[in-house]
Chain A
Amino acid sequence: MPPESQRDEDIFESQYIDKYLSEYASVSSIVREALPFELIATVGGVIAGIIFSGMTAELEMIPGLLVIYPGVLGLRGNISSTLGSRLGSAIHLGLITDLDRRNPELMNNIYGSLILSVIIAIVLGVLGHYVTLALGFESAGVLKLTLICVISAFTSGIILSIIAALLAIGMFRFGFDPDNVVTPSIATLGDIVSMLMLFISAKLVVML
């Protein structure tokens, strides 16, 4: 490589890094961008908490429900948020352009995350039951706990997948970057939806 273009490249690179550092990596710019999303997310968390505090009767009636609660809520972050993030990448790559049920890229993403939710829900229910017993606590039984996990994970998975797909495609159409909108929205809505579905499935299983 001729030395002159090498020097130009170095200058370009150092200017680029300076620009990155001053525009994207200053403390105030990061806080300004992240704080509003986090404040909205905490409102979602408090709403989920209010539903949680209304579940005390179920928590007492179904021993072990408190054990599976963090796992059920964790699914939204680990499955639905990654779904949102993958949909964002697929839209940027031009693989998904609209809400088309025949588009394999869209449907594989949704089916993949739903199957993952169900597998993990079964693991969560079974593991939750036996670890609780092993530690000498009472458990409502492997079937009841697994049923609560599977019903809540599957229903909240469907609702959140539809929201993620609609949001990602809609936001892209209106000229927003889905990566910036979908993940924080799913994180906020995910807590509320998962907690509500956990509450409903616990109520259903109590009635059985």
Chain B
Amino acid sequence: MTKEEHQTPYYTIEGIIQRGLPVLIITCIMSILVGQILNSREESLISMPAILILIPSLIKIGGDTGSMLGARLSSALHMGLGDNLRSNPVVRNSVIAASIVGFISSISVSILVFLASSLFGFGMPLLTLLQISLIAVAIELAVVYSATVAIAFASHRFGIDPDDTVIPFIASLGDLVGVAGILIALNLLEIL
């Protein structure tokens, strides 16, 4: 028992900070970039509260499903199932499944935002919200999933544990591309 008490803990504060800090600094800089994109459109965004409700949930979808995809790919790579990128059923099925989850979630977000914004009296037509969500999510998922597959395979090849690198980076990339996607959608639909 005394031996156990003197043992260094498996998790040390220094270790957690040292491992976390580099990735967090990068994601912090990426988040400032996202913030600046939003800031450049501040006035139009504040005048459209429905879009403000839409932003946090919609930009999450890419990061969430991308992280799930990244976790699945890295487990598959750990199990040695990832020798061939293109004809690999794990990669293909995971990407298809993540896209299905992403698109269904974006439809659900549009409906929820429509209900919430109608309730608060600044409603936007459901069709417009659906169009914005689907355009933004299509852009987001295409970029995020390509990056996820590329990073997972690259870190595997260079001997880095994909679990440590893929997930934090993908969540930030999802925010970045998600916000860009929403603004592109607003421009395409000539709302902004």
A-to-B contact residues, CB < 8 Å: 17, 20-21, 25-28, 30-31, 34-35, 38-39, 41-46, 48-50, 52-53, 56, 59-60, 64, 66-71, 73-74, 77-79, 81-82, 86, 90, 93, 95, 104-105, 108-109, 111-113, 115-116, 119-120, 123-124, 127-128, 131-132, 135, 137, 187, 191, 195
Q: Are B31 and A70 in contact (CB under 8 A)?
A: yes
- Top 3 A-B pairs, shortest CB-CB distance: A45-B57, A112-B16, A67-B35
In the complex, B148 has a CB within 8 A of chain A = no
**Which B residue's beta carbon lies closest to that of A77?**
B171
In the complex, B53 has a CB within 8 A of chain A = yes
Binary contact readout B94-125 vs A (1 if CB under 8 angstroms, 0 otherwise): 10111011101100110011001100100000
**Which B residue's beta carbon lies closest to that of A71?**
B31
B57's contact among A42, A95, A104, A109, by CB below 8 Å, is which? A42
Q: Are A31 and B97 in contact (CB under 8 A)?
A: yes
B108's contact among A42, A49, A131, by CB below 8 Å, is which? A42
What class of interface size applies to chain B in its complex with A? 35 or more
A21 to B87, CA, bound (A): 13
**Residues in A neighbouring B112, C-beta threshold 8 A:** 42-43, 46
B-to-A contact residues, CB < 8 Å: 9-13, 15-17, 20-21, 23-25, 27-29, 31-32, 34-36, 38-40, 42, 45-46, 49-50, 52-58, 60-61, 63-65, 68, 72, 76, 79, 81, 89-90, 93-94, 96-98, 100-102, 104-105, 108-109, 112-113, 116-117, 120, 167-168, 171-172, 175, 179
Q: Are B105 and A109 in contact (CB under 8 A)?
A: no
**Residues in A neighbouring B53, C-beta threshold 8 A:** 46, 49-50, 52-53
The prevalent SS among residues of B at the interface is: helix
**Which A residue's beta carbon lies closest to that of B41?**
A66
- How far, in Å, is A77 (CB) from chain B's closest CB? 5
- How far, in Å, is A166 (CB) from chain B's closest CB? 18
A108 to B128, CA, bound (A): 48
Q: Are B63 and A77 in contact (CB under 8 A)?
A: yes
- How far, in Å, is A7 (CB) from chain B's closest CB? 18
Q: Are B39 and A31 in contact (CB under 8 A)?
A: no
**Residues in B neighbouring A38, C-beta threshold 8 A:** 61, 64-65, 101-102, 105
A70's contact among B81, B100, B104, B175, by CB below 8 Å, is which? B175
**Residues in B neighbouring A73, C-beta threshold 8 A:** 56
**Residues in A neighbouring B63, C-beta threshold 8 A:** 77
